[in-house]
Every structure is written in structure tokens, then in C-alpha cells.
A and B are shown apart, each in its own frame.
Chain A
């Protein structure tokens, strides 16, 4: 990172920290949503962007983690900071099972993507039949103490959720920046570029792909726990749905797969644009179902056609943020 990039990053961090002081609740909710997608995009990017393994089923980890933490809280009053461990454990185990099945038996590319979709889909159907967790009717956490900041139970005002999500996003960013410069980062990128050549250089590709898988699912689990306590309601039909998985990957795809800042930029661009168009249409009194999805499609198409590597690489070059001092 050169000096210019460091200064800009510091300014962005400061602006994000100060934002709740000036933003109204609407802006804050949009900002929280951006951070949520920036974070999940970052987690997904570890698998696809770094190690080249396309997951189209990341809603699985968001959902399982959300249900695990919410279930513990709902039935036993166990707070999210304890629940998060169970959530991460379950998601890591799931990631390991999917990874083992795929990598052990040489399933890769689109077939791997199909496998990840399949797991998310049958989990969605499975959760419809778990009455203990509300089944198709949903699981609801009691909304309370909105003014009082109770970090331990993750109950509090929107500002608290914003800062929790900001901390998670910053943490994931730092972790990914470090990973990319470590042995794991080099090995993952080698596997992404050419797996057979990577193997010939002594890389146990099975082991390193498993690590990417497990790490990505564990990171995504944190977002799931946040989701449960932020929205307070969970429906299998929504949380495990493939459209959720797609939403997670759109940020990094638009921002730049494999880049550190791409997921953050992509999440911001998409969320802000989607929200403005929703607002605009509401102001004009036009009500068209599915317009948001059409809009996503158009933006995705434009980016793929004009910026096949995402917005960030081009933007970084234009702003002179590449290279070292």
C-alpha cells in the first residue's frame, strides 16, 4: 500500500467511526446494511477471490449461524457471545464436510458451485421441518431495551449494531490483508491460477482449499449471528434462499473479485444505488415488484461488460493507489 492509499483508508475509517454522530436512523440502517454485505462479501472472497473456489451457497452459513445463536437465546437465554462459538463450530463443520466431499472427489468449477447450492437448498427445506426453531412460521427474538446499550446480549440502539458491524468489517479487512501476504495467500492464489502447477510446486492443494473453505464459513457465521440479533426474525424461506447467496457475492463481483477493497466498494455501490432507486420509485408513486432485482442485473451486466475485473482495480489505478512507495 502506498502513502496515498494509507491516507485515504485512514480518512475512510475516521468517517465511518464518526458517521453515527451525524447520520439519521435511515442513513445509519443503510450504512449497517452496506457493512453487512461488505463483511459477508469479504468472507466469500476468501474462497472465490483468493482460492478460486466458487461458492453459490453462502446463505447456508449465514442461516445456520443465525438459527444456532437465536435458538440458544430464545430457548435458554444464552447470549450471542456464547452462541457465536456454537454457530462458528457448526458452520466450520459444514464447510469442512462440503469441502471434503468436493475436494476429495475432485469436484470443481461449476459442479462445486452446484454442490454448495444443493447444501443450502436442502438445509432450507430441512429447517422448515424443525418445529423447535419455529419451522416455516419463523423464529422471533423479543425486541427490547432499544435505548439501553446491552452489548453482552447484543440488544441496543441502531448505533450499537452499526459499530459491531463496523468492527467486524474492519477485522475481516485486516485479516484478509494479512492472509494475502502470508503463505496461505500465496498458495491460494497459486491454486486459483493453476491447480496442477501449484501441486507441482509442492502445495497440498486439498489441505489449502479446505483451509479457505473452513475460514470462509467461520467468518460468514459471525455475520449470521449479527443478522439474527439485528433483524430479530428468521425464516428458512428467506435466510437460506439462493437469492441471499447471490446478494452476498454481488458486492465482491462488482467491486472486484480477489481484491481487498472490492467487496467493500461493491457493497456500497449496490446498496446505495438499490436504495436510491427504491426511494425514487416510491417518490414517483411507481410500484413495480422485482425492480430491485432488474436493477441488480443491469448493473452486473454493465460491470461485466465494461469492467470485467470489477470497479476497484480500475478505480485504484485512476486514483494512483497501486504499487508501493
Chain B
């Protein structure tokens, strides 16, 4: 049984079918990539899993337990951490305080949360910037902060929504290394939406391709990028394989 099971999930917005009958699983300890052109329904699936949206039909199970219909904070409590595509730092708070807010979820008190937050900041290379206000960070650092905050909630499954977008190739590689490390050391399961194919190919062991809300292909990265259906839907799109 997969850690996360998405089964026959549908979601429409005023007649626009954003996700149609999507079914896939994310095995414990794996890294799965969710790709597809703009408007394919990737972020909608994320929001349904994260509790921001309620699916019209279908089921979502996490660790065997139904989680569709739960509030975002309950989904987080169940063990799913997420980042936002458009980063949402607590701009007025310091970098450290941002991460402490996340760490408080599983900490007995502020001192424990602070220790945990400092560890995570070091891991993501933000240690030196911990006292800066989050608003003062550059975009790559904001993306790192977004990840740090989600990691601080000690999730079993991490949902990454385009955390590589806007990063330079070297920064992207660093980030990939961070996720690989966490996945290998702590067995963290990751589901990522990503446009940067360089990162998807390097990270994901399994890829699910969405197009117009439907899953059109799935499999290993090597297999998926040669799939004619995938190539067709990406035609005209800029891909850097």
C-alpha cells in the first residue's frame, strides 16, 4: 500500500474540469514527480491533497486514512508538509521565527522549536541569514525558507510546488542534493511539481504526467520523456531535458 493514494479524484471550477479521474500513488520513501504543461491541473491536485480544496469526487488516503475533506492544518498534523508555488513567507518575521512557527507543530515549547529550526536552517544553508526579516531575502533564499518551514513540521510526505523555478542551475543542483540527502537519510517521501526538467530527472524515481486534468503517462523518467503522448503535449513548450 502506498503512503499517499489518490483515487479517482475529480475537481471542477464552474464547469472547468481541472482534474479528471486522477489516480496515482506515492510509495513510502520514494520521490515522485508530477509534471505537465501550464494549466494541466498539477497545483489543483496539490491543493486537494493539502486540504485547501475539497475534491468533487474520489478519495485521498494517507497512511491508509481518508484525508480528503480535512482542513489544511489537519492535513499538516497528519504528516503532510507543503510549499507554495508563489512563496508565502511571514514577511515581517525573521527567517528563524518563520521556521520556528513550523517547528512548533511537533515541539513541546518554543526553546525546543528554536533548536529544531536552527538545525533545519543550517541544513538548507540559511543559518547565516537567520536574523534577517524574511522580506529581505532574495528569491532563491525565499524558496529555501519555504522548504525549511515545511520541513520544520516534521512531515512524512513533503509536497513541493515548483521550488526550483527561478533558481540558477547551480542553485538548483544544490537544492536537489538537499532533497536527496533528506530522502536517503530520513526516508522522507516527496511529491514534487516541477517545470525544471533538470531537477525532475535528477530527483524523481517515478513520474506522473498530467494534461488537461488527465493523467496521460506514468513511469520512470527515462520512459516518460520518450512517451509520444508526453512529447506531443509538450510540443511548443520550452523544455530543458
Contacts and interface: CB of A to CB of B under 8 A. Distances in A.
Interface string B75-92: 011000110100011111
Contacts of B93: 189-190, 193
Contact of A182 (B72, B89, B110, B153): B110
Interface residues of A, number: 21
Contacts of B77: 202
- Secondary structure call for the A interface: helix
A190 B90 contact: yes
A198 B105 CA distance: 11
A199 B101 contact: no
A201 B102 contact: yes
B90 A189 contact: yes
Contacts, number: 76
Contact of B76 (A189, A194, A202): A202
A181 B84 contact: no
Interface residues of B, number: 29
Interface in B58-107: 71-73, 76-77, 81-82, 84, 88-93, 97, 100-102, 104-105
B109 interface: yes
A284 interface: no
B73 A205 contact: yes
B71 A198 contact: no
Contacts of B153: 201-202
Contacts of B152: 201
A203 interface: yes
A209 to B, nearest CB: 12
B92 A186 contact: no
Given A183-B110, A193-B92, 7 more contacts: A186-B101, A194-B89, A194-B90, A197-B90, A200-B72, A201-B105, A202-B105
9 contacts: A187-B101, A194-B91, A196-B84, A199-B72, A199-B76, A200-B84, A202-B76, A202-B77, A202-B105
